[in-house]
A and B are shown apart, each in its own frame.
Chain A
Amino acid sequence: MATNGAYSPFELARQLAWSRRDFLRRAAGVALGSSLLPPGLFARTGVPVSKRKVVVITFGGGARDQETFAPEGQENIPHLMRELIPQSAFFTQVVNRGILGHYVATASLATGVYETINNFASLPPEHPTVFEYFRKDLKRPASDAWVVAPSNGFNRIGESSHRSYGPGLGAKVILPKHLLTAATSGSSTDYEHLLRDNYETPFYTPELGGSEFELQQLGNMLKLSVDDFKAHALTLSSPDELSVYIVRQLMRQVAPSLLWITMHDIDIAHAGAYSLYIDGIRRTDRLCADIWKTIQSEPEYAGKTTLFILPDFGRDSDDDSGGNGFQHHRTGDALSRTTWMMALGAGVREGVVFDRPMDSTDLVPTLGSILGFSASLAQGKPIPELL
């Protein structure tokens, strides 16, 4: 196993954050932020707590700096670099100290606790999710919290098994691929490019349980006929594009206050084909910008929505002989644990970069502070730079 000289994982993570900051300052013109910001930034937007909305985009399968923020990688993320980062508060050192599997890591992001559930089983998180805090504390209806996820393995992400929360208090979960399979009765070969399996475990599709969105609700809630859905799907090229199409419908027809989207196209990296991994990064970059544009153009969201974008974790570095570079996230090295987050929109100071370390579990308490609920069982802390 290779060692990186005398550097500890902490030092490596810090160096990574600094280089990420420098790339951003040079390429996107953002300034170094300080935690000594004027207080009550969000309050100054004039948006009352009850009207605030949050959209969270997570990537299941991060991308490394050399393919994104470093000079040689910036060509792959033109939308993030030129459009989103200049408008965002960017956190360069978000450390995931939990299990680096996509389902369990996303569950950790959604609960604010490092979950230890089996990554490959159809299980709910053990701790209350952000959706349950939001709905129970604020007495919001089921239609106000939604998850759109690409993998059938994410069907239980919407609500936990916690005895004080759990069934009936979580988010509605839409699995667009599952919907498409149902819409086509699993028979058409025209949609196979949109039904790609979980790249981390390509042979395995868990049976669905939990409260996944039912096909007939396409028409009832999303005002979308099965035929229209099928026709539009034919114009798309990837599972994440299908997800974003559903997200737009959801924002227009239901306008939930808390919307969580996970994307997985980048995770084709597990198959070891570098060109496909790069294609996934470029597509994700474009789709993030598309969602931001939708937020700005939809009356229900414009001016009162905060968007968070973050990978669930990183990928292995080329320097660690225990891994195989971009392909996996198995070594647990600093690069695979240290990722980033950007926040933009209502209540966010634009064009600043923060390089202090924070935990990925800090997201949920921060969402609580923005939306007005208490994530009482979360391990993380609210991010002061966003409050």
Chain B
Amino acid sequence: MLPSDLKPEQFNGYPPEARKLVSGYVAALRRLPLSFLPSLLREAIEYDFKFPAERRAIEKELSNLDSLSAGQLSDWMQGFAQIRISSQLEHSDWINAPAQFVEQLSSYLWTTHQLDAFRVAAVAYADRLRGVIPPEKPPVPRLGITIVGRGVTASDTPLFRKLRPHGAYFKAVKPDNGMQLLLNVVAARAKAHPIPYAHWYIDGGQSAVYDPALTAVSYHALEPVRAVLSAKIRAEIERPGMGPENLRTVLAQLRPADLGLAKTGDAVLDRFQVKMLTEGSGTQIFSTTFAQWTAREALRRAQPLTLLVRFAPRQRQKPMNEMLSSSREVAELDPLGSLIDADMGAYYNWLNLQRLPGAEQSSFLVWFEGHNEAIAIGPSLPRGTESTAVTGLEQLLNWAS
């Protein structure tokens, strides 16, 4: 089936809000090439479970496509129109399973050597879209905080090497009560700017006590979910004929209730957490990977005003199948390796913060938990500098903002 044959009732299988949204744009969707449309539907079908920033982005994108004349649309879609699609893909259920279509399309593009052309088309489209729908500036400059090194008593590892050229490195930070102090700062911002999903606390271990105004995710709290997921993975891989692509499809179809998350929870956040575990690579087994990937996705999708990420020690490396096992034995931890993971994770948190609108005004702090080292980056802080002055974390945040 081709997009030109689309009818409104074909979206009856979509969740209610997604159905309502898409049904209003069927005429616009009919004009899009098959190499493009399922990517858009993949986002739209999840509309009911999207964060507010994502919802606004989808609405604006659909509205823009609807507003284009035939000539303009042809120009916008020129690159995608040149992508050849197999008849097998054409006959797949891309309306109700757009994510699976996109996955199969990706494989098809690789094997037909069309990936580069698709990539060029996608970049051109995204650039154009940004041109007509300017990114929303945040109501207040964003703040990112990353805490690394939990459980490390001493380390010779030189920290923040990738971040130092971008900010001021402090070597005599007062660590007292640091975690609580930073949580208080984050909570105060959440209360001053009470916007849904705008203030996050992600913990790679067990959460500290936090203000309910925060959107919170922790690796420890998801332990029962991870156990159910591991059991499902093991059961799937033992089935004859199960390969990695089939498994990926099965995982993508898992919903919060399938993994034991209560139906009374926050449906948007629960769906997000499940995606972290079913779509992230390594998030099921390494807490450092979980914290970094969750921060990346929270920044990309929710575009928060405030993000506090605390890394915790991950389990020591073992064979993958063993790490995925349901053993209740206490895992041996690797605090020093986790510190190196977290140091890189902090850099990625900063990079991903820089990709959001208003990046030039945002501030960022990384602190080696319980120790005297921190780096602060902000519009008013000098770059590539070092300080040995005795300083509190609150003072660093003031300077960075």
Contacts and interface: CB of A to CB of B under 8 A. Distances in A.
Interface of A: 1-3, 9, 72, 97-101, 114, 116, 120-121, 192-193, 195-197, 199, 201-204, 206, 268, 270-276, 278, 318, 321, 324-328, 331-332
A321 B340 contact: no
Contacts of A273: 282, 286, 288-289, 314, 317, 337, 341
Interface in B332-349: 334, 336-341, 343-345, 347-348
B247 A204 contact: yes
Contacts of B242: 204
A195 B319 CA distance: 7
Nearest to B106: A330
A273 B355 CA distance: 22
Interface string B263-299: 0000000000000000011110110110011001000
Interface stretch (B118-126, B187-195, B214-222): B118-126
A120 B344 CA distance: 30
Interface of B: 110-113, 115-116, 119, 122-123, 126-127, 161, 233, 236-237, 242-245, 247, 280-283, 285-286, 288-289, 292-293, 296, 300, 314, 317-322, 324, 334, 336-341, 343-345, 347-348, 351-352, 355
Contacts of A9: 116
B348 A318 contact: yes
25 contacts: A3-B123, A193-B319, A195-B319, A197-B319, A202-B320, A203-B237, A204-B237, A204-B242, A204-B244, A204-B247, A271-B282, A271-B320, A272-B281, A273-B286, A274-B340, A274-B344, A275-B336, A275-B341, A318-B348, A318-B351, A325-B348, A327-B282, A331-B119, A332-B115, A332-B119
**Majority SS at the chain B contact face:** helix
A197 B296 CA distance: 26
A272 B126 contact: no
B53 to A, nearest CB: 15
B234 to A, nearest CB: 8
B295 to A, nearest CB: 11
Contacts of B282: 270-273, 327
B281 A196 contact: no
Nearest to B321: A197
Nearest to B351: A318
Contact of B111 (A99, A202, A272, A274): A99
B340 A272 contact: no
B152 to A, nearest CB: 12
A1 to B, nearest CB: 5
A193 B127 CA distance: 46
A193 B233 CA distance: 21
Nearest to B115: A332
A272 B293 contact: yes
* Most chain B beta-carbon neighbours within 10 Å: one of A199, A201, A203, A325: A203
A321 B116 CA distance: 16
Contacts of B285: 271
B337 to A, nearest CB: 4
Nearest to A326: B344
B278 to A, nearest CB: 12
B369 to A, nearest CB: 17
Given A328-B281, A332-B119, 8 more contacts: A99-B111, A116-B112, A201-B244, A274-B343, A275-B341, A325-B344, A327-B282, A332-B115
A97 B243 contact: no
Q: Which 7 A-B pairs have the closest CB atoms?
A: A272-B289, A271-B282, A275-B340, A202-B320, A272-B282, A274-B344, A275-B337
Given A114-B113, A272-B281, A3 B289 contact: no
